[in-house]
Amino acid sequence: MQKIFDEVSSLDKKCYDKFSLSEDLLMEHAALALKCEVNNKIKSYNSTILIVCGVGNNGADGLALARLLQDEYLNIIVYTPFEVKSKMAKLQLERLKLLGVNTTNSLRKVFDIDCVVDSLFGSGLNKPLKKEAIDILEKINSIEAYKIACDIPSGVDNNGEIKNSAFKADVTVTMGALKTSLLTDGAKEFTGIIKKANLGLSSSCYENQTDMYLLEQKDLKLPFRDNINTHKGNYGHACVVIGCKKGAGVIASSAAFSFGAGLVTAIVHEELQLPYYIMQSHNLPSNVTAIALGMGLGLYDKNELKKILNTNVAKVIDADLFYEKLLLDYLNQEIVLTPHPKEFCSLLKLTKLADIDIDTLQSNRFKYVKLFCKKYPKVTLLLKGANVIISQNNKVYVNCLGTSALSKGGSGDVLSGLIVALLAQGYSFLQSAINASLAHTLAAKNFKSNNYALNPEDLIEGIKNL
C-alpha cells in the first residue's frame, strides 16, 4: 500500500530544508517524469505534442517538459494562455526562449495532435474556474489525443471537487506523493491511471508519517488453506440473516461459502430454495462465529434483531439496519458497517453527527468518515463508492480498484458475504473489510464480458478464480 497525504507542500519544504534539494531540482524531476510518460506512449518523431501551461509552478513543470522534449518530436506546441506569474514559471519560460522555443497564447488548430499535457492548474486550486479557463479545458478535452495531467487534472480542486469543468486525463502523473484530492469519487472520472513521480528522493525520505493509505492489488491476502490436517470447523461458521427481500441474503450466503467459511447457515423464517451447501435454521446455531445482517432485511421483528445483535460474535451490518435507532446501542463495540452514501447519511443523522444530503457527503467523504470513526473508534467503517473508503479509529484506507460494473443490485450483498466469511475464519475486523473489498473489486475488474452485464454469480465466480 502507498501513503496518502492531504497536502505535499510540507514534504517539498522538507526536501529543501533537510536534504538541500532546490525547488529547481524537484521541478526537473517532475518534468522528467512527464517526459517518460510522453515517451512511453508517443513513439513517432513526427508526432505533435501540445503542452498547456498555466501561470504558476504547475505551468512551470509544463514549460520544463517542453525544454526536455524540444528535439524529440517534430512539433512541440507550448500554449500559455495567461501571462506566467510564479518565479519558477518565469525562469522556465526564459530557458525555453534561450533555446529558441516559441510559445503561443492562442489555440486555433486543435486537430492532428497526438498528445496533450495539462499543466494549467495544480493541486492548490481553491476556487471555481473562470469562463476563459473553462473554455480552454473544453477545447483541449475535445482533442482526440493521449491526455496526460501534470500532478492533478486542471479543474479538480484541493478537496477533489469539480466545480464546473476539468481536464479528462488518460493518466495523471502526480508529483512526489499521492493526494486525497485525487482519490475522491468525483475526481475518479478525470484522473485516469494515477502514477506517482519521484522528485529526487525515495518515498521513504520524501514522505512523512500518515494515517491514510492507498490499497493495491498486492495487499490482498486470500484465505488460502495452508494447513493440511484440518476440518470444516477450523474455518468458522458464518450465519446470514435472511429478511423479507430474500435474494440479498441468499447472495451473501453463497459469497460467504465461496470465500472460505467452513459452514454457512441462512437464518430464515420459512424454508427457502437455497444452494444445497447452505444450511437453514430458524435460530442461530451454538457454534456460530460470525453474523451478517441488514441486507434485504425489510420489516424484521425488533426483539429478534436485538437477540441476534446481542450475540457475542463478530458481525457485519449492511443496508436496512442503517435506518434503525437500535443500531446505536452497538456502535461502541467491534463491528463492521458497510453503508452506501445514502445509508451513511442516515447513519450520520441517527448518531447526530451531521444532517446532510448525499451530494454534501460525496463532496466531503473523507471528512465525514473521519468524523464518524473518531466518535466510534471500535467500528470498522466501509463506505461504498467509486473509490471505497475503509476506516477504523484514525486509520483510513482507500480502494480505487473498483469499476462501474459493480453498479448493480446484489454487488453489495456479495461484499457482505465476503466480509462475514473472513470474520468467521478469524480475520480481524479491519483485515476482513480490507481483503473482502480488494477481492470484490478485483473480481469485477477481471470480468471479461461487457461491463453492464456483471451479476452476483459472475462476481462470486470471479472471486473463486483470483
- Residues belonging to the binding site for AMP are 412
> Cα(146)–Cα(277) distance, rounded to whole angstroms?
50
Instruction: Point out the annotated binding site for (6S)-NADPHX.
Output: 57-61, 122-128, 151, 248, 296, 340, 413
> Cα(282)–Cα(55) distance, rounded to whole angstroms?
68
Strands of 314-317's sheet in order across: 178-179, 2-5, 212-214, 395-399, 388-392, 379-383, 335-337, 314-317, 290-293, 237-241, 263-267, 279-281
Instruction: Point out the annotated binding site.
Output: 57-61, 118, 122-128, 151, 154, 248, 296, 340, 412-413
Residue type, 321: L
CB atoms within 10 A of CB 209: 5
Sign of torsion, CA 104 109 115 117?
Answer: positive
Q: Which three cell numbers stand for residue 32?
A: 522528467
For 192-202, letters b (16+ CB in 10 Å) and e give bebebbebbbe
Q: Which three cell numbers stand for residue 306?
A: 436485538
Instruction: Point out the annotated binding site for K(+).
Output: 58, 118, 154
Q: How many residues make up the chain in this entry?
A: 466
49 in Cβ contact with 100 (< 8 Å): no
